[in-house]
Amino acid sequence: MAHLILASSSPRRRELLQQLGLDFDIFSPEIDESVLVGENVAAYVERLACAKAQAVLEQFPDAIILAADTSVGVDDQILGKPESKQHAFEMWQSISGRKHDVFSGVCVRTSREKSSIVVRTQVEFQALSRNDMEDYWATGEPLGKAGAYAIQGVAARYIPRIEGSYSNVVGLPLYEAVQLLKVVKALN
């Protein structure tokens, strides 16, 4: 297989990809992550994953680029990373005591081929009290996380069940990423 580059600075994506035993480098592109008017969560994460892959491919045209983007969706709203404590609390209030969706767009790109997919996992959150939110905020874990939580960390105590890919909620749906890598490998 040609040289593989993960287009992400996410330590969670790096750890997930390392689980597969693949050799890869990391290069994190700078792209505009603004949501387009009328854009739904699935379209948003796929567009960003493909934009990241394209930006890195321009730097490394002979490589295979794997990029992903993950966001939480609830009530047709995209819950990105919290900008403040108040913002995190607003996100948690919107997912408290109910189910929400986690979407990841994954894109594998070479100079000749592009394959992408969107993976959806449904996550159920328990009803959160103000004390739960204060305690969770105090851990520091919500910072830099879509939906202001990390299922692989302390937030697991608030999540009674998920339907779908666990690795998707962490930030990189491994099964689907491998399938895309196989397609590109077969074409190169």
* Residues with catalytic roles: 69
Query: Are 104 and 146 within 8 A, CB to CB?
Result: no
Number of H helices, E strands in the chain: 6, 7
Cβ-based neighbours of 129, under 8 Å, separated by 6 or more: none
Spatial distance between the Cα atoms of 19 and 175, rounded to a whole number of angstroms: 12
Spatial distance between the Cα atoms of 106 and 122, rounded to a whole number of angstroms: 17
Query: Are 158 and 126 within 8 A, CB to CB?
Result: yes
Collapsed DSSP state (helix, strand, coil) of residue 118: strand
